[in-house]
Amino acid sequence: MAKKGGFPGGGIPGNMGNLMKQAQRMQKQMEDKTKELEEKEYEASAGGGAVTVTVSGKKEITSVKLSKEVVDPDDIEMLEDLIVAAANEALRKMEEDSSAAMGALTGGLGGGLGGFPF
């Protein structure tokens, strides 16, 4: 009668066991790196420093600083545009840092099972 289950002896073969350990180690490293990135802050300016926005690694705006010269009640649109530009640049920096950090951990695997021959 055939034994239920996959492999003789009920264990995972050596290579598969090593692969599982590596995957668990990579998952822990990614969790640690994610936590580290969430604690970082990224700053960007627009309008020659007239507007400065700081965002966290959690993609939250934590600070907006405006120089007095940029606050013109007759040109609110310019101020709005500068805030958007600075916020988008700070978020871009955060995403770039995050992608680089995760890419270093995964060795460029990307999504799915890229790089594996099956």
Residue 97 region, left (φ>0) first, then alpha (ψ -120 to 50), else beta? alpha
Which whole number is the average pLDDT over 26-45? 90
The predicted pLDDT at position 17 comes to 83
Distances in whole angstroms, Cα of residue 83 to Cα of each of 3, 40, 56, 59, 87: 66, 20, 16, 15, 6
- Residue, of 74 and 3, whose pLDDT is higher: 74
pTM of this structure: 0.67
Residue 40 contacts residue 56 (beta carbons within 8 Å): yes
DSSP 42: E
The answer, yes or no, to whether residue 2 has pLDDT greater than 70, is no
Per-residue model confidence as pLDDT tens digits over 58-85: 999 999 999 999 999 999 999 999 999 9
